[in-house]
């Protein structure tokens, strides 16, 4: 039986999972992670609070552990993430730095982290979640101090540090066509026209049964591809109001299939990543109490209907 990763590879794609360092002591978990997926995203290990907790003091132990595991398993790595408003150490978020100094802090962070992982990362989520849901720029410390130029600066620094990595901007609630994906579209178009290095757009895909499947996912991916960038589904999970039942699990399975087919229908959609693969380690219940069961494997690491649906959508038997 081919795995999800092998089925995706037969279509010229990858099928990945997020993972996190504390989970790596769970041997059955690690076995399935290594077998079923051909790409890994560190869920937390490469974020700013993990990699530069104090100014100029870099720490790569957690990220290195995940890169080493991926290399051992023959898996690609999606680097996540260089510049984000969240999980930002307080020395950055509360620093009150003047613009020139914050710009140099940002460039130094991107340069140092991307240089450390040079040649070992397939994609970098260089900028994560730059937009509000209405399509305006999120008022992060970077935007409020530097304006939108921080995005081009981060991309240029990442390109210089690791010319072989594909550079992405990644966001959520951009999966279908709407105000937020329109804003991302206009940003990417503008960056391309200015010659700023941008290779891909990540669509996180944090979906919820109670909100409905976003409309026109395939058309949305295609319009970005038509700008001359790759696209990827980077953090897919499909949560529900608990308890799960067979009807919800079968709708969830259908959505996993629909999203996969939308990606496969777009030649520049290079792969899909689930935001961890088992309900045992999902971020959802901690952030949305009363919701969960979002992933293709249950809390006991047993495959759910979504797993079979993914296999079928990827062309498996």
Is 235 an active-site residue?
A: yes
If binding is defined by CB under 6 A, does position 235 make contact with ligand G3I? yes
Choosing from 117, 168, 185, 283, the residue that interacts with ligand G3I (CB under 6 A) is: 283
Interaction of residue 174 with ligand G3I, rule CB under 6 A: no
CB of 56 to ligand G3I, least distance (A): 20
How far is the C-alpha of 97 from the C-alpha of 156, rounded, in Å? Answer: 21
Contact, 242 vs 292, CB < 8 A?
A: yes
- Nearer to ligand G3I by Cβ, of 77 and 264: the residue is 77
Shortest Å, Cβ 48 to ligand G3I = 11
Nearest CB to ligand G3I, comparing residues 199 and 235? 235
Half-sphere exposure of 17 (CA within 13 A, CB side): 28
CA dist 246 → 135, 218, 291, 300 (Å):
36, 27, 16, 17
Q: Would you give the DSSP letter of residue 175?
A: S
User: Can residue 204 be called a binding residue for ligand G3I (CB under 6 A)?
Assistant: yes
Buried b / exposed e across 94-112, counting CB within 10 Å, b at 16+?
Answer: ebebeeeebbebbbebbbb
CB of 227 to ligand G3I, least distance (A): 23
CB atoms under 10 Å from CB of 258, counted, come to 16
Task: Assess 42 for contact with ligand G3I (CB under 6 A).
Answer: no
Count of residues that interact with ligand G3I, criterion CB under 6 A:
9
Q: How far is the CB of 135 from ligand G3I (least distance, A)?
A: 18
237 binds ligand G3I (CB under 6 A): no
Angle at 59 between CA 58 and CA 62, to 5 degrees: 155
Catalytic residues: 235
Give the residues lining the site for ligand G3I (CB under 6 A): 43-44, 86-87, 128, 172, 204, 235, 283
């Amino acid at each position: 039986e081919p795995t999800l990763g092998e089925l995706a590879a037969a279509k010229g794609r990858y099928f990945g999972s997020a993972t996190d360092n504390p989970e790596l002591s769970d041997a059955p978990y690690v076995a399935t992670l290594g077998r079923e997926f051909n790409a890994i995203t560190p869920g937390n290990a490469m974020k700013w609070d993990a990699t530069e907790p104090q100014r100029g003091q870099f720490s790569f132990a957690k990220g290195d552990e995940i890169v080493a595991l991926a290399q051992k398993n023959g898996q690609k790595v999606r680097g996540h993430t260089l510049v984000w408003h969240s999980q930002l150490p307080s020395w950055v978020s509360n620093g009150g730095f003047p613009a020139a100094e914050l710009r140099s802090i940002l460039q130094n962070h991107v340069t140092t982290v991307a240089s450390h992982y040079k040649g070992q990362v397939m994609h970098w989520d260089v900028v994560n979640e730059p937009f509000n849901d209405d399509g305006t720029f999120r008022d992060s410390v970077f935007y409020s101090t530097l304006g939108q130029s921080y995005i081009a600066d981060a991309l240029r620094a990442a390109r210089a540090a690791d010319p072989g990595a594909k550079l992405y901007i990644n966001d959520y609630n951009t999966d279908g066509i709407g105000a937020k994906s329109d804003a991302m579209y206009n940003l990417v178009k503008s960056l391309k026209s200015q010659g700023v290095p941008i290779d891909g757009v990540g669509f996180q895909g944090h979906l919820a049964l109670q909100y409905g499947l976003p409309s026109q996912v395939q058309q949305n991916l295609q319009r970005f591809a038509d700008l001359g960038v790759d696209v990827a589904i980077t953090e897919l999970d499909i949560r529900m109001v608990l308890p799960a039942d067979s009807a919800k699990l079968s709708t969830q399975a259908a959505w996993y299939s629909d999203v996969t087919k939308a990606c496969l229908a777009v030649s520049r959609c290079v792969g899909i990543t689930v935001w961890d693969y088992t309900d045992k380690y999902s971020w959802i219940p901690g952030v949305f109490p009363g919701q969960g069961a979002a992933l293709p494997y249950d809390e006991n690491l047993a495959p759910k209907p979504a797993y079979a649906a993914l296999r079928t959508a990827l062309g498996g038997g």
